Structure 1
Amino acid sequence: MDLRIAVVCSSNMNRSMEAHARLKNKGFNVRSFGTGDKIKLPGPSINQPNVYEFGTSYEFIHQDLSKKDKAMYKSNGILHMLDRNRKIKEGPERLQNTKEQFDVIITAEERVYDQVLEHFSLNGNQDNNLVHVINIDIQDNQEEATLGAFLFHELASLLVHSKDIDNEIDELLQDFEAKCSRPILHSPHINAKFSILLFAV
């Protein structure tokens, strides 16, 4: 079953891009998105984040941070993250702005999951597709993002190999939740824009 998958987090920088990289490498039909109003990256202090508009390229952000403090952003892994990201696509994309169709949505944070459901409730279209929105909480750090990518991959593999995803998904998610020891949220939607999305930051 060739499912159209989207992985989504808040800024389309860390969690969703780590999952995007892994799923793409494994041959899945996958896209990634963020749901936040802005792209936010750590800055010199908690009260001084680096903020960019969606549509800003990973290349521009990489160059901008290199000019500000290359040593710091290299040591904390952000330049490495941006280097990975720019090899996958041009820049962060906001889910609410896409018209693409998906089959499954997997988010990496309950807040992002709620934003997706809100978007569906406000912007459902005439496509009678059933979309499964799924959340697995993944902390927004590099170690968790790597683990999250493995979890997203394992879950996506189960869904892709399902012979009847709409009828089997509840049991699949129950078994997967017990295996990964993380609570899973799931909401099926009809008449929505998307089919499968995996969400992370």
Structure 2
Amino acid sequence: MANPSDLSIAVICSSNMNRSMEAHGFLAKKGYKVRSFGTGDRVKLPGTAIDKPNVYEFGTPYDVIYNDLIAKDKQYYTNNGLLHMLDRNRRIKKCPERFQDCPEEFDIIVTVEERVYDQVLEYMATRDSFNKPVHTFNIDIEDNHEDALLGAFLIADMINMMTKSTDLDNEIDELLQDFETRRGRGVLHTVLFY
């Protein structure tokens, strides 16, 4: 059985704003060594019109984004929950980070949508791989505040099962089957290498 703090975990969504940050905060409170990331080219948040998103570079502090949205339309961004989300994010870490720019190696990578999972697989295929395995999973989670919270519970449940395993490499298929049956959620899984 692994100690939760022994595993290095990455949780990844597209912009490192909602789903990955909800899971990051939740896992950190449970004692896990966790970081969160996005895989997109830029950070995108909904704007006041569907064709006018708010776009920021990765590395832009959550404080800066928060204050920018307040200046644009405080009432609108309060009502749609973005200011609340950004307030949570800035209490967890300084800024959104892009996975492809991180040199750190992880034991477990969890993505929250298949498109992001594919981007992680594509990026990892470009790296020089050696022999350190990383279990990579995807659980599809809708990008809204309620599902992000539910997703954090699901991810924590799955990670908790893995920390209880005495031989994760040999037990992973059985663990995932149990998780999928219990939770009624499909999980994509592959082993990548650093």
TM bucket (normalised to shorter chain) is over 0.9
Shift of 1:54: 0.4
Shift of 1:45: 1.1
Q: 2:174 aligns with which of 162, 167, 171?
A: 171
Root-mean-square deviation (CA), in Å? 0.8
Moved more, 175-184 or 85-94: 175-184
Q: 2:122 aligns with which of 118, 124, 128?
A: 118
The residue that corresponds to 1:58 in the other structure is 62
The residue that corresponds to 1:6 in the other structure is 10
Letter in 1 for 2:161: L
Residue 146 of structure 1 pairs with residue 149 of structure 2 = yes
SS at match of 1:87: helix
Letter in 1 for 2:134: V
The residue that corresponds to 1:32 in the other structure is 36
Mapped partners of 2:142, 2:128: distance in 1 = 29
Q: Deviations over 1:61-115 (max 9, x none)?
A: 0000000000000111100000000011000000000001100111100000000
Segments of 5+ residues of structure 1 without an aligned counterpart are 193-201
Mapped partners of 1:121, 1:178: distance in 2 = 31
The residue that corresponds to 1:87 in the other structure is 91
Q: Deviations over 1:4-62 (max 9, x none)?
A: 11111000000000000100011111110000111000000111110001010100000
Moved more, 179-188 or 134-143: 179-188
The residue that corresponds to 1:155 in the other structure is 158
Query: TM-score, length-normalised on structure 1?
Result: 0.93
SS at match of 2:92: coil
Shift of 1:183: 1.3
Moved over 6 A (4+): none
Letter in 2 for 1:91: C
Mapped partners of 1:68, 1:189: distance in 2 = 42
Identity, % of aligned positions: 59
- Count residues in correspondence: 190
Mapped partners of 1:46, 1:179: distance in 2 = 37
Mapped partners of 2:153, 2:54: distance in 1 = 28
Mapped partners of 2:128, 2:144: distance in 1 = 32
Mapped partners of 2:8, 2:171: distance in 1 = 18
Q: Highest relative contact order (Cα 8 Å, sep 6+), 1 or 2?
A: 1
Query: TM-score, length-normalised on structure 2?
Result: 0.96
Shift of 1:125: 3.8
Mapped partners of 2:30, 2:138: distance in 1 = 21
